[in-house]
Structure 1
Amino acid sequence: MNSKSTNTKELLISKLYHLMKKNRSSKVKKVAVIVLIALILWILWQFYEFTMLVFSRQNRTYLLRTLLQSAEGVWGFYLFVQLFSQPKKTFEKNMLLSLWLLFGLWYCVQLPLGFASRDPLIFSSPNLLFFQKTLPFLSSFTQYMLLLWGLLGLITLGFYRAKKRWADVDEVFLPALFFLIYQGVYFLARLGPDRLQAQKSSFNQVVYLLLGVLAGTLLFHPKIRKRAIQILDYPYLCLIASVLLLAGTFFFGTAVSGGRKLWYKLGPLTVQPIEGAKILFIFVLAVFLQKHVLTLQKRDLKANLLTLCIICSLLFSVLMLQRDLGPLLVLLAVTLIMFLTVSGRWALFSGAVAMTALGVLISFFTRFPSMVYHRIMDFWDPLHYSGQLTKGLWAQASGGLWGTTPGMSQAYKIPVIESDYLFSLIVAEKGLLGTALFLVVFFVFCFRGFQTSRFLMPASRRDATVILGIFLLFVVQGALIMGGNMAFLPLSGLTLPFVSAGGSSLVINLLAFCFTLALVASRVRKVTPTGDQP
């Protein structure tokens, strides 16, 4: 009896235990389900709030900015990949068309939205006083940007068709080139409403672009191309012309903004002769180095080295007298790199670099010319010596990863931003990602030039050396101005090739670029990354 009752009690306790365990597990499951539902609802609510925030009126400009920069990044990556592969026949056309459409959104939607977010009056009736004098038929900033976008499209189409007809030697150059040009015109137009003293820069840049393209495409025509290339047969005439162009400013030059007399005034235009003199000097240097390449590679090279020093001193002395040290530094660097490339004489190259550094140190400590001292001190301690560079660095720091978006930064307060500090504006309003893309495209453009030079070497060493010198000029000048803007190097007062405001610079650089394509078209059919002709 006792055993029966004991078994019954144990059975009841066991059932009660299992029942309690079952109830407990069901309660735990219910609580877990409730917590999970609450978590899902919270996530959905947060996503809803984020979506409403992103698509709100205040944040549309940032959302569009992010989408456009992402699309730009894909475009730039695809362009970079083509450096090391053979592009398709439709690659150039598709890249130019997509670039033009992409920048149409930047020009006609993003920039007006950026200004509208900062000042609602700018979107419809901005303070575009420059329309009253130059373009009175326009009444809004958006209309102005549409006009620029349309003109750029027509210029791009004309240049593309002329190149395809007479100098179809490469598919990578043009997309990279017009990316840089579009960026320059875009940011110059962005400065219009904020800097009325620079109000005509963007429109003038398009006019100079048209002049450069018209003159450059003439070099593609076979008959004109043949005559233009003959200039390389007369290097010393090029040297005399470059020296006379610069020396003439002492007698017939004019000053801009109260500075030194470094320009010629031709009616309503001002022309800076150093831009043409740099290219002519590259011709002289390339022809001389290639003519004496075998002698330069040997140990007994005193006579040719002395001749090279005399050639350089003729032009450099004029630049020293003008106190135009930026172009002097560029040409000196290009000369040394070209000498090293052709001769392979590292000892002489190192000695020349050491002597240059010694000369800079002597000039710094003696303060003669004083500009060297001031440039170095501006670089060394911009907070105390250069308010211009300090404002540029603060503007760049405000950009962050994505940038402040065009039209939203205070970078327009930097003095002379349209020429010396336009790169700071790009960093401020496009951020680290946009700046990285800009550097990648600039690298693609210049590296393709070096590939072209190497590709042309078996056909004509002289022409290949000329192309090498021209693209070295772009690289050195771009590195100096970008490094100076970011306080990595002393600022040299140069223009960023194809980007900064400056009619002389843009036209001459376009002519130099077209001259390189003309050289290639006169020798071979197509440039390939492997160096083989198809």
Structure 2
Amino acid sequence: MVNVVTGLTKYALILFLAIYTLLGFRMAGKSEEEREAALWQQNILFFGMHFLGNLVLYLNTKGESLITFYAVQLGLFSLFLILHHLIYPKADKTLNHNLLLLLSVGLLMLARLSSEKAERQLEVAILAMGLTFLIPWIIRKAGKLRDLYWIYGAVGFFLLVAVLVLGSLSFGAKLAITIHGITFQPSEFVKILFVFFTAGMLKEDHSLKRVAVTTGIAAAYVLVLVGSKDLGGALIFFVTYLVMLYVATGKILYFFAGLIAGSAAAWAACGIFAHVRARVLAWSDPFSVIENEGYQITQSLFAIGTGGWFGSGIGQGMPYKIPVVEEDFIFSAISEELGVLFAVLLIFVYISCFYMIINIAVCLQDSYYKLVALGLGTVLMFQVFLSIGGAVKFIPSTGVTLPFISYGGSSLLTSFMMWAIIQGMYLKRGDEVVENDSKDNKEKAKKEK
């Protein structure tokens, strides 16, 4: 009976997610009433997927703690949606739905792989959700914070240097610092500071001198990350800066010059760092080194291939055979047990989020906030590309987590913070519309007089 329920559920989850994703894309250009109806449908589909996934996991594992774990999630998600609607009624509800969907998939897979890690991730999520109620208010009200970009740049650089000097090695790279038993990854939080700094530098002044100074500081960030052997982080900073520089200046020459410099740096890193050469070898021909460097990626490919289009069913696969599966290769675990179709639909959820973020950036009138929204959207989407690209052998593995899904307190907290900042941008866009309408009404009143 359990196998029958598991088999039927995997098809239901794919169908529900397909309809959910389609509704998200179709909301663009719809009237307010049509959007509200679609949002209610998304709510039903989301909670339906959440229930079915946890039900099947319970049936396959018989873990009594899963009932409590599910109940806490259900209460947390419901409370989050209700409070967000009450406090920020004009916030983008589709973004909130997507956030909870991605988080719920991550918690489901983590509960499948490690109940201890799943509980830790949920604790961080509770803290992060609390921040999402405070950050949008700060973005809307504390306009002077935009002028502190030099401080953002200095603090971010200091944190990266601190990791380089004091950080502990993990898989050949210095990524984290431990203080009083609490381990965190500063580079995750520095992404936000870096975006605020770059936006402040390029918001108005696009002179060659200004661009040269900003590029030099950005290069210093990247070099420190390279020194820490955090090449995945270095790539994210590098690409984010290139995109922001091109959009701010409109000069394609800067973009191509950056690509050439980045390609040369990547070639040099391959020659300098042994662990980079090992990852390139594992990517280019993993089966020739399957017992060593290629073991992780080959297990990832086996898992994806074994699951097929519709997956083996929750609890029916063997994702635990992939090393560090909860962090770097959770996409492979999802593909194996929930199916390649489900995994592809998750990618479309991310694309939907990126589309909405870019739309917010385009509509914002303030060049500073426009660049911030663009930068944060680029960070999120490029991180998705690196994580999934490494899992499916499209690019060498960079050890980058999948936002909202992979295990990692620093990564999850930072993702929530970026999400909250983007919501603040969305609300600010609404404030700009109200201000413009008010000005237009005043001008009309003066003309009538």
CA distance in 1, matches of 2:80, 2:3: 40
User: Structure 2 vs 1, CA of residues 371 and 426 (structure 1 numbering), >3 Å: closer, same or farther?
Assistant: same
Counterpart pick for 2:113 among 188, 191, 197 = 191
Instruction: Determine if contact 2:91/2:426 at 8 Å carries over to the other structure.
Output: yes
Counterpart of 2:372 in structure 1 is: 466
Deviation at 1:396?
0.5
| Secondary structure of 1:409's aligned partner | coil
Aligned residue for 2:122? 206
User: Structure 1 residues 111 and 517, CA, compared in 2 at 3 Å: closer, same or farther?
Assistant: same
Structure 2 CA distance for aligned equivalents of residues 286 and 105 of structure 1: 43
TM-score, structure 2 length as denominator? 0.89
Q: Do 2:204 and 2:367's aligned partners in 1 also have CA atoms closer than 8 Å?
A: no
CA positional deviation for 1:426: 0.9
Q: How does 1:471-490 map to 2 (within 5 A)?
A: 471-490=377-396
Find the counterpart in structure 1 of residue 444 from structure 2.
none
- Is the CA contact (8 Å cut-off) linking 1:282 and 1:470 kept in structure 2? yes
Tell me: CA distance 1:57–1:505, structure 2 relative to 1, closer, same or farther (3 Å).
Answer: closer
- What amino acid sits opposite 2:20 in the alignment? W
Instruction: Tell me, in whole angstroms, the C-alpha distance in 2 between the residues paired with 1:269 and 1:83.
Output: 43
Moved over 6 A (4+): none
Match of 2:46 among 99, 104, 108: 99
Q: Flag the 1:230–1:152 CA change in 2: closer, same or farther, 3 A.
A: farther
Q: Is residue 169 from structure 1 mapped to residue 60 from structure 2 by the alignment?
A: no
AA of the residue aligned to 1:99: F
User: In the alignment, residue 263 of structure 1 is paired with which amino acid?
Assistant: A
Superposed counterparts of 1:104-503, under 5 Å? 104-107=51-54, 109-113=55-59, 115=60, 122-123=61-62, 141=63, 143-167=64-88, 168-192=90-114, 199-221=115-137, 224-226=138-140, 229-255=143-169, 260-293=173-206, 295=207, 301=208, 303-364=209-270, 367-383=271-287, 384=289, 385-456=293-364, 458=365, 460-503=366-409
Residue 518 (structure 1) shift: 1.7
CA separation of 1:228 and 1:96: change in aligned 2, threshold 3 A? farther
- Residue in structure 1 matched with residue 438 of structure 2 by the alignment: none
Deviations 1:302-359 (A, max 9, x none): x123112221122122112211111001111111122222222222311221222122
Q: How far is 1:252 from its partner?
A: 4.0
**Alignment length (residue pairs):** 426
Secondary structure, counterpart of 2:176 in structure 1 = strand
The 1:392/1:287 distance shift into structure 2, 3 A limit, reads same
Structure 1 residue 202, shift from structure 2 partner: 0.7
| Greater radius of gyration (CA) | 1
TM-align CA RMSD: 2.2
Gap change, CA 1:386 and 1:526, over 3 Å in 2: farther
> CA shift at 1:290, angstroms?
1.7
Aligned residue number for residue 53 of structure 1: none
Q: For the residues of structure 1 that align with 2:37 and 2:13, how far apart are their CA atoms?
A: 23
The residue matched to 2:178 in structure 1 has which SS?
strand
CA-to-aligned-CA distance 1:392-420 (integer Å, 9 cap, x gap): 01111111111111111112110000000
Contact 2:322–2:329 under 8 Å retained in 1: yes
Residue 463 of structure 1: how far off its partner (Å): 0.6
Q: How many percent identity over aligned positions?
A: 24
The residue matched to 1:524 in structure 2 has which SS?
Answer: helix
- Offset of residue 94 of structure 1: 4.8
Amino acid of the structure 2 residue aligned with 1:85: K
Pick from 18, 21, 24: which aligns with 1:79? 24
Unaligned runs of 5+ residues in structure 1 are 1-55, 116-121, 124-140, 193-198, 296-300, 528-534
Q: Which has the higher contact order (CA 8 A, sep 6+)?
A: 2
CA–CA distance in structure 1, aligned partners of residues 382 and 256 of structure 2: 18
Q: Distance in 2 between matches of 1:65 and 1:431?
A: 8
Q: Structure 1 residues 228, 100: CA separation in 2 closer, same or farther (over 3 Å shift)?
A: farther
CA positional deviation for 1:213: 0.7
TM-score (norm: length of structure 1): 0.75
**Aligned amino acid, residue 279 of structure 2:** R
| Inter-partner Cα distance in structure 2 for 1:277 and 1:328 | 11
Render the CA deviation track for 1:472-523: whole Å, top value 9, x for unaligned. 1001110011011000011111111111000011111101111121233234
**Separation in structure 2 between the aligned mates of residue 216 and residue 348 of structure 1, nearest angstrom:** 35
> Aligned to 1:234, what secondary structure does the other structure show?
helix
Matched residue type, 1:208: V
2:360 partner letter: T
Q: Distance between the aligned counterparts of 1:88 and 1:455, measured in 2?
A: 19
How far apart in 1 are the matches of 2:198 and 2:259? 18
Deviates more, 1:73-82 or 1:443-452: 73-82
More moved, 511-520 vs 86-95: 86-95
Contact 2:304 2:340 in 1 (8 A): no
- 5+ residue gaps, structure 2: 434-449
Against the structure 1 CA distance between its residues 469 and 164, is the aligned structure 2 distance closer, same or farther, given a 3 Å change threshold?
Answer: same
Which digits, 9 at most, give the CA deviation of each residue in 1:440-491, with x for residues without a partner?
11111111111111121x2x12111101100110011100110110000111
Alpha-carbon distance in 2 for matches of 1:286, 1:112: 47
Quick one: structure 1 residues 266 and 416, their matched pair in 2 at CA, closer, same or farther if it must change by over 3 Å?
same
Q: Which of residues 397, 402, 416 in structure 2 aligns to 1:510?
A: 416
1:380/1:243 CA distance change after superposition, 3 Å:
same
Matched, 1:65 2:48: no
User: What displacement does 1:98 show?
Assistant: 3.5
